Amino acid sequence: MLPIKSKWIALLGALSALSATCAPAQMLINGAGATFPFPIYSKWFNEYAKVDPSVRFNYQSIGSGGGQKQILSETVDFGASDGPMSDDNLAKAPRTLWHFPTVAGADVITYNIPGDAKLKIDGATIAGIFLGKIVKWNDPAIAGQNPDLKLPDADIVVVHRSDGSGTTYIFTDYLSNVSADWKAKVGKGTSVSWPTGIGGKGNEGVSGQVKQVPGSIGYVELVYAKQNKLPYADVKNSSGNYVTPSIESVTEALAAADIPADFRFSMVNPPGATAYPIAGTTWLLVYAEQKDHAKGEKLVQFLKWAYSDGEKLAPALDYAPLPDALIKRALEKVQSIKY
């Protein structure tokens, strides 16, 4: 028996020696949270590994709720969230916790009506449809905005996200902004109590349903709609123009939005003439004072890189980069992180 045992011990010893030699002197910075920016963050961390090989980022896209919880309990070095933290949650932070906007995205209205129709729609009508008040496609509210379309006398089937998501947050934030009725009856959140319609899980659940059911309407991320070639509507912005959602019109919306010093803002329905109104940003959550000097230093270096080189990678992945003015403000705040 003994020889086998000693072999095992030798093997274990060898393994531990191996893992010790394999592990380089590399620092690991952990983050967790939002799912919407996960593709761009992965890209950033990959690219950044080439810039600074001495640090490795590990990001778990567990959702904004989990991201906020984990940064509050300091089990991660940075958090990420698709919605700004509430005052209540922010008050639970042991030290000052800062929001850093990274990239922006938009929600598009996708639909299934006969013909290759390009729908035009305004906020009040979208709210009416999702409140269950506008129930037919040939309703004057829709037909009035689309005089050149021949809209069917068909029921509108509303499809929304069933899983809690930043996409829903942006959409309901927009509807609360443009419709007092929506604000009073439903409100905004990552999940809400929908007055009507059916829930699809994820972008694929919503778009699958919209693609298949004639007369349906739903909202998905711009990224997803573009990559899957879904039809999407031009939405009327606060300047009265119908704007096609695109990376440019989202960055335009960001530039036009009124952004407070703490970066907790909603960019829905901003004033710009060419701004697409249903857009939102996503945030990294970082403590103003870093406990670990070395990690803090690396994290700040990374943020600086993200705001310069990182932003340039965004359009290729269908995310809207931040406008220059906002990047400048964010960089100033990054400089004042203490470590």
Report, in Å, the least distance between residue 277 CB and another protein.
21
The phi and psi torsions of 281 (rounded to 5 degrees) equal: -115, 175
Looking at beta carbons only, is 1 or 20 nearer to another protein? 1
Least separation in angstroms between CB 80 and another protein: 12
Position 62 contacts another protein (CB under 8 A): yes
Shortest CA distance to 145 belongs to which of 240, 216, 246, 231?
240
**Residue 83 Cβ, how far from another protein at the closest point, in Å?**
7
Between CA 108 and CA 210 the distance in angstroms is 13
198 binding another protein? (CB under 8 A): yes
3-state secondary structure the chain: CHHHHHHHHHHHHHHHHHHHHHCCCCEEEEEEECCCCHHHHHHHHHHHHHHCCCEEEEEECCCHHHHHHHHHCCCCCEEEECCCCCHHHHHCCCCCEEEEEEEEEEEEEEECCCCCCCCEECHHHHHHHHCCCCCECCCHHHHCCCCCCCCCCCECEEEEECCCCHHHHHHHHHHHHHCHHHHHHCCCCCCCCCCCCEEECHHHHHHHHHHHCCCEEEEEEHHHHHHCCCCECEEECCCCCEECCCHHHHHHHHHHCCCCCCCCCCCCCCCCCCCCCCEEEEEEEEECECCCHHHHHHHHHHHHHHHHHHHHHCHHHCCECCCHHHHHHHHHHHHCCEC
Q: Which of 39, 65, 231, 315: binder of another protein (CB under 8 A)? A: 65
The answer to whether 306 and 102 are in contact (CB under 8 A) is: yes
Binding test (CB under 8 A) with another protein, winner from 39, 152, 208, 315: 208
Among 179, 209, 266, 282, binds another protein (CB under 8 A): 209
Site string for another protein, 25-54 (x = CB under 8 A): ----------x-------------------
Contact present, 298 and 27 (Cβ < 8 Å): yes
Specify the residue, 195 or 231, whose C-beta has the smaller distance to another protein.
195
The only residue of 39, 189, 231, 315 in contact with another protein, by rule CB under 8 A: 189
Nearer to another protein, 158 or 322 (CB): 158
Among positions 52, 204, 292, 309, the unique one binding another protein when judged by CB under 8 A: 204
- Binding of another protein by 80 (CB under 8 A): no
Shortest spacing between CB 64 and another protein, in angstroms: 5
Please identify, among the stretches 78-86, 238-246, 271-279, 305-313, the one whose residues bind another protein according to the rule CB under 8 A: 78-86
Shortest distance, CB of residue 81 to another protein, whole angstroms? 8
Nearer to another protein, 136 or 304 (CB): 136
Q: Order of strands across the sheet with 55-60?
A: 55-60, 27-33, 78-81, 279-287, 97-111, 216-221, 157-161, 198-200
Least distance from another protein to the Cβ atom of residue 38, Å:
12
Rule CB under 8 A: say whether 272 interacts with another protein: no
Per CB under 8 A, 93 contacts another protein: no
Number of residues in contact with another protein under rule CB under 8 A: 40
Q: Decide whether 88 or 148 has the Cβ nearer to another protein.
A: 88
Q: Which residue number, 164 or 321, has a Cβ lying nearer to another protein?
A: 164
Which of 16, 73, 86, 308 is in the footprint of another protein by CB under 8 A?
86
Which positions touch another protein (CB under 8 A)?
A: 35, 62-66, 68, 82-83, 85-86, 88-89, 155, 157, 162-166, 186-194, 197-201, 204-205, 208-209, 212-213
